[in-house]
Structure 1
Amino acid sequence: MRKQSKVFKLTFGAMFVALTSIGANMTSIAPFLVVGGVPITLQTFFAVLAGLVLGSRLGAFSMFVYMMLGLVGAPVFAQFKGGIGMILSPTFGFILSFILVAYVAGKIREMNSSLPSYIVAALVAMAINYIFGTNWMYAAYQLWFEAPAEFSYKVAWLWMIVPLPKDILLSILAGVFAYRLEKHGIIIRNIVIEQRT
């Protein structure tokens, strides 16, 4: 039973690695999702969902695997990019934050499993993604990447206005979806237990 549980957990973890990879490259299916040269992706949505569905530890681990998969060269990052050089990319902070995003979302959900808690967990996790990622981007442009003309900290945050409404909406949807999935999971587990007794 314990072995079966581990197999299910690893399977779900691998599934979220795959989903995040797909979410990173939505622009290959819908090119109009590139705004001002910046691809609008579903990575944050799946990172949040990973934490809510898998829990803090497994959710964070699945995002760590996703990041490492990209760094070893698999084209799983936005626009099918990958490789160790991505560490120097201005947007790598967003990828790195997915580990913390999943962990925090899972941790909040583990403390309270009500619907409002799921939604709050998703929104807090999304905010972490924005804060960590935007500050990394600003630092990258200031320290090791050639900054665009008239680039400033304010401009860095103004760039984030474009994907913000989408990410707020998707984070709320992630919270609602994960909550319903958990409730259905509890019902299914109870049915299985009743059938065995």
Structure 2
Amino acid sequence: MSSAPRTPARDAALVAIFAGFVAALGIVPAFTPPGFTVPITTQSLGVMLAGAVLGARRGFLSLTLFLALVAVGLPLLAGGRGGLGAFMTPSVGFLVAWPVAAWIVGWITERGGPSYKLHWGVVANVVGGIVVLYAAGIVGIAAVAGISVGAAAVSTWIFLPGDAVKAVLAAVIARGVHSAYPGLVRGRRRERETSAV
């Protein structure tokens, strides 16, 4: 299947669709394990997918739009949370890093060659969706909870198994999307067009 041409209107629609997709993932109830301050949600899967499917720029914009809607009060976060108060909780580091994480996932994805490779996609998701998110999230937990960075880092271990599964799942889904709609990611499309010449 050939890809549709990129236009500003199409890009804006994809950005809005993925912002809505992340919001829809918030319908899945959040779970805060006893003794922990940050809830486990499925919305980080949407962060990985935004970068993996849309690429760096549009992935970043989709999560920026999502957070702007949360900031103005829409209850789009898991558990029906919204408003500026959501950015004053121990989750703040994770939240504000979502656009950056999506950008990094997309940036790495764009350098993966003319076809989406599963192993490359998993690496992109782990680097952006786990390493980057955890780095910011740990700082946020330490700052808001008033604990050391080391203690905050230890408190994130419970998220690792689920996020590892999300990284693989996002790569599998992205591979299917890119197979059906080639050319979604600009860097990969340029490489394909160059090789065709």
Structure 1 residue corresponding to 2:124, chosen from 106, 114, 121: 121
Tell me the alpha carbon deviations over residues 69-117 of structure 1, each in whole angstroms, 9 at most, x when there is no partner: 0001101123211112333222111111111011001001111134122
Residue of structure 1 equivalent to 2:33: 35
Listed as ranges, the gaps of 5+ residues in structure 1 are 143-150, 188-197
* 2:137 aligned with 1:137: no
What is the Cα deviation at residue 186 of structure 1?
Answer: 2.5
Structure having the higher helix fraction is 1
Identity %: 26
Query: Is the CA contact (8 Å cut-off) linking 1:106 and 1:121 kept in structure 2?
Result: yes
Residue 77 of structure 1 aligns to a residue whose secondary structure is coil
TM-score (norm 2): 0.79
Residue 79 of structure 1 aligns to a residue whose secondary structure is coil
Query: Is the CA contact (8 Å cut-off) linking 1:55 and 1:106 kept in structure 2?
Result: yes
The alpha-carbon distance between structure 1 residues 24 and 160, as it changes in their structure 2 partners (threshold 3 A), is: farther
Alpha-carbon distance between aligned partners in 2 of 1:71 and 1:99, rounded to the nearest angstrom:
14
TM-score (norm 1): 0.79
Query: Is the CA contact (8 Å cut-off) linking 2:87 and 2:95 kept in structure 1?
Result: no
What is the RMSD of the two structures over their aligned residues, measured on CA atoms?
A: 2.1
Q: Relative contact order, CA 8 A, sep 6+: which one is greater?
A: 2
Alpha-carbon distance between aligned partners in 1 of 2:90 and 2:32, rounded to the nearest angstrom:
17
Amino acid at match of 1:154: G
What is the Cα deviation at residue 43 of structure 1?
Answer: 1.5
Residue of structure 2 equivalent to 1:99: 99
Residue of structure 2 equivalent to 1:45: 45
Tell me the alpha carbon deviations over residues 145-188 of structure 1, each in whole angstroms, 9 at most, x when there is no partner: xxxxxx5433322321222101111111111221221122129x
Residue of structure 1 equivalent to 2:179: 183
Listed as ranges, the gaps of 5+ residues in structure 2 are 184-197
Structure 1 segment 59-98 matched on structure 2, within 5 A: 59-98=59-98
Deviates more, 1:90-99 or 1:175-184: 175-184
Deviates more, 1:74-83 or 1:111-120: 111-120
